[in-house]
Amino acid sequence: MTHRPAPPQTSSEPFLTDAGCETDIIFNRGTEIREFAAHTLLEDDHGRRVLGDYFREFLGLASDVNAGMVLDTPTWKAHPYWAADLGIDPLELQRANREAVVFSQSLRDEFASSGLAIAINGLVGPRGDAYAPDFLLAVDEAQSYHATQIGWLVDAGVDMVTALTFTQSDEAIGVVRAADTAGVPVVVSFTVETDGTLPTGESLGHAIEAVDNATDSAAAYFMVNCAHPDHFLGVIDDAAWASRIEGIRCNASRQSHAELDAAEVLDDGDPVEFAAGYVALKEALPSLKVFGGCCGSDLRHVTEVAHVVLA
């Protein structure tokens, strides 16, 4: 049996993602990541081995619990805003995106006999700091900016793209329009502060409604990531916007983004308590079907989630 590259939006089955890739690899696996840009791990054999072993664990878990897998490309910071910090030019960035997709495709091929539904998901990060946005982007500017990386990812063969850890609705509108133009399914994942609002102060519900209203609901679905379950459970209600949230990738820590940014020691929380938060979110958001982790979480956390949410 071969793999079934079905994105979650075309399937009724649950899907897993990985966890806090960068924090797990840095703190738990003892491998530095230059500029916190995971695609740089592909530059040498050691980095490729560490990254491959990391993703294989989650693919194995998905197989064990009979879930699909949204397999991310390590491209969250592989876009022009970070080129200067990384010391590379646009051509090298384009090559990095292509190699990241090829890397993810090779992992999918390793699991071809498992029958897993594996969607290659091109990660697109925000232009600027995901914890404290440097500036507000106009919709047209965001569309033009993100179209470049989305084009690279689509040309390389991704099944879908996800705008991960986005902090403002106008930038998200631009991403959705860019992906829609490129003809690829797109997911928007917002990050929120400890009070459940985006870093710009916009409410989660308003941000989702704004994106849908401006794009004729072109996003496949929405997610929340890089926030503890307690940070946004209280803002979920029975409004229509909440039903558009189909995935969560939460932080293991209850700390604020400012506290996490300054932390020198990993706060990995309690995996069992973490999973209990997902149970509460699943009760509040029956449409949820994509489950993973973000900063501070690792295989332990996603395993606990899989066992209690998918049981």
Question: What amino acid is encoded at 27 in this protein?
Answer: F
For 236-245, b where at least 16 C-beta lie within 10 A, e where not — what string?
beeeebbebb
In this prediction, residue 264 carries a pLDDT of 79
Cβ(111)–Cβ(118) below 8 Å:
yes
Q: What is the pLDDT of residues 236-279, one digit of tens each?
A: 999 999 999 999 999 999 988 888 877 778 899 999 999 999 99
In this prediction, residue 4 carries a pLDDT of 41
Range in 123-132, 217-226, 233-242 with the lowest mean pLDDT: 123-132
At 6, is the pLDDT very low, low, confident or very high (cuts 50, 70, 90)? low
What domains does the chain contain, in order, with CATH numbers? 8-309 (3.20.20.330)
Place of tokens 């069992």: 272
291: region left, alpha or beta (phi > 0 left; psi from -120 to 50 alpha): beta
| pLDDT score of 132 more than 90 | no
pTM score: 0.95
The answer for residues whose C-beta is within 8 angstroms of residue 3's C-beta and 6 or more apart is 108, 109, 111, 112, 114, 115, 116, 117, 118
15-16 and 290-293 strand pairing: parallel
Across the strands, what pairs with 12? none
Q: What are the φ and ψ backbone dihedral angles of 20, each rounded to 5 degrees?
A: -85, 80
Q: What is the pLDDT of residues 70-126, one digit of tens each?
A: 999 999 999 999 999 999 999 999 999 999 999 999 999 999 998 899 999 999 999
Mean pLDDT of 207-235: 97
At 1, is the pLDDT very low, low, confident or very high (cuts 50, 70, 90)? very low
| pLDDT score of 3 more than 60 | no
Kindly give the residue spans of alpha helices, DSSP state H, lying in the chain: 21-23, 45-64, 83-86, 90-110, 139-156, 169-182, 204-215, 229-232, 257-262, 271-284, 299-309
Cβ(26)–Cβ(300) below 8 Å:
no
CA 151 from centroid of its chain's CA atoms: 18
Q: What is the pLDDT of residues 154-195, one digit of tens each?
A: 999 999 999 999 999 999 999 999 999 999 999 999 999 999
Half-sphere exposure of 302 (CA within 13 A, CB side): 32
